[in-house]
Amino acid sequence: MLASSRANSKHPTNLQGIWNNLLTPPWGSKYTSNINLQMNYWPAESLNLSESTAPLFNAIQELSITGKATAKAHYGAEGWVLHHNTDLWRGTAPINAANQGIWVTGGAWLCLHIWEHYLFTQDKEFLKQNYPILKSASAFFTNFLSRDPVSGKLISSPSNSPENGGLVAGPTMDHQIIRELYKNTVAAAQILGVDQDFQLLLTKQSQAIAPNTIGKYGQLQEWLQDKDDTANKHRHVSHLWGVYPGTDIVWKDSAMMQAARQSLRYRGDEGTGWSLAWKTNLWARFKDGDHTLMMASKLLSSAEEEFGTGEKGGVYKNLFDAHPPFQIDGNFGGAAGIGEMLLQSHQGYLEILPALPKLLATGSISGLVARGGFEVSMVWKDGMLEKITIFSRAGGTCKLVYGNKQISFPTLKGSQYVLDPEFIILK
């Protein structure tokens, strides 16, 4: 399905794609940028469909132009901004109710796809062409962020935690996305050797942004105040953005990772189709293979309730994802989750079989792609790695981690390396 969203298309995949059969489809069958548009492209890099991302980057380029007008008109700010929805005309202004429309980090989230494309492909020319988009998105927040009068920290206000809880000051998700944007913009500027003063500004501001906070229930707080409700089963798990697709929370900070996992436990295992897909990826990042597979199984369960009483999150008979109704994002997000179950590379190394379920104790896979430009194939038996093959597309150092084993070795562009379970290079 993603492959059919061809590289020469003018537009990225929307909520229903070419499979919509209505003149007035749900949500206009357009682009919701608080999860759905981004989820459509989650598997593109890791599942070896990188060429399918070209329409997305074309849209981001256009949004960065219209978004400048919105930033100036609505906030008196430099740079560009996108709220929670856009369309063929690349509108960027707030729409709908305040608890959805006034959310300022849609464009910043899309910028992650630019940086990820560079990490997976090591295409420096692509990074050079798109760096101005990252810089301009960051510039908006250097103007927009304000001081919280209580903590003195920089916060995003006004905004919301998408579709949950109304208009607030300082939702956790915003701060995670902005920190990630700043970090990636600084890294890109360093690679390109530009904007040293701007790098210093972003680094200083990033350190001043309100941090992730653990609340009274041991949970990662969704908001600046500790007001999470453990009975809240909302479909969005926005405050876990820093776990996936972001990298604001990783296992290096095990206490925060545990708090994020506690939040997901409270939120529960039910949800719309795309919500189940997001939770599949999150449980993979938490390295719980059995829970990951359970979420993927829920995603692939029938959307039709017993006795014709209605529909739920899952899939229809043709395996199209059900919000319900049909949305294409859950299909793509679920596929990404299977990739995350078998290979992760977001922490600067390739982690092999990080969330392998007991029910998939024996198997093989080929053609996965890791950051750094490495194509990966592997075979495992009885829950243990037997062989891994690495093809280096760009050269550079390859660092592998499997359980307690680690290896780091130089690679040549266009060369293949076969390793046994002890990470001895066979050829």
CATH of the domain at 9: 1.50.10.10
Same domain, 75 and 46: yes
SS3 for 328?
A: coil
Instruction: From 344, 366, 401, give the residue that closes a domain.
Output: 344
Structural domain span for residue 360: 349-427
Cβ burial of 177 (10 Å; 0-12, 13-18, 19+) is buried
Same domain, 305 and 355: no
pLDDT in tens, 55-111: 999 999 999 999 999 999 999 999 999 999 999 999 999 998 887 899 999 999 999
How would you classify the pairing of strands 350-352 and 396-402?
parallel
- Largest pairwise CA distance in the chain: 64
pLDDT at residue 5 in the model: 65
pLDDT in tens, 232-259: 999 999 999 999 999 999 999 899 999 9
pLDDT at residue 352 in the model: 98
Same domain, 355 and 320: no
Same domain, 220 and 332: no
Instruction: From 219, 247, 268, give the residue that closes a domain.
Output: 268
Same domain, 144 and 178: yes
- E strand or H helix at 137: helix 124-144
pLDDT at 413 over 60: yes
Instruction: From 344, 368, 397, give the residue that closes a domain.
Output: 344
Q: Whole-model pTM? A: 0.97
pLDDT at residue 97 in the model: 85
Same domain, 123 and 80: yes
Same domain, 280 and 410: no
| CATH number of the structural domain spanning residue 408 | 2.60.40.1180
The residue with greater pLDDT, 422 or 99, is 422
Q: How many domains does the chain have?
A: 3
pLDDT at residue 427 in the model: 73
- Its sign, for the CA torsion 301, 231, 106, 203, is negative
Same domain, 201 and 302: no
pLDDT at 3 over 90: no
pLDDT at residue 305 in the model: 72
Return the percent helix, strand and coil in the chain, to nearest 5: 40, 20, 40
Question: What does DSSP assign to residue 404?
Answer: T
Structure-block tokens of residue 92:
């960027």
* Residues listed for the chain: 427
In sequence order, what are the residues at sequence separation of 6 or more whose Cβ sits closer than 8 angstroms to the Cβ of residue 135? Answer: 185, 189, 195, 198
pLDDT in tens, 117-133: 999 999 999 999 999 99
pLDDT at residue 17 in the model: 80
Span 34-40, average pLDDT: 96
Within 10 A of 178 (CB to CB), how many other CB atoms are there? 28
Same domain, 137 and 254: yes
How would you classify the pairing of strands 384-392 and 374-381?
antiparallel
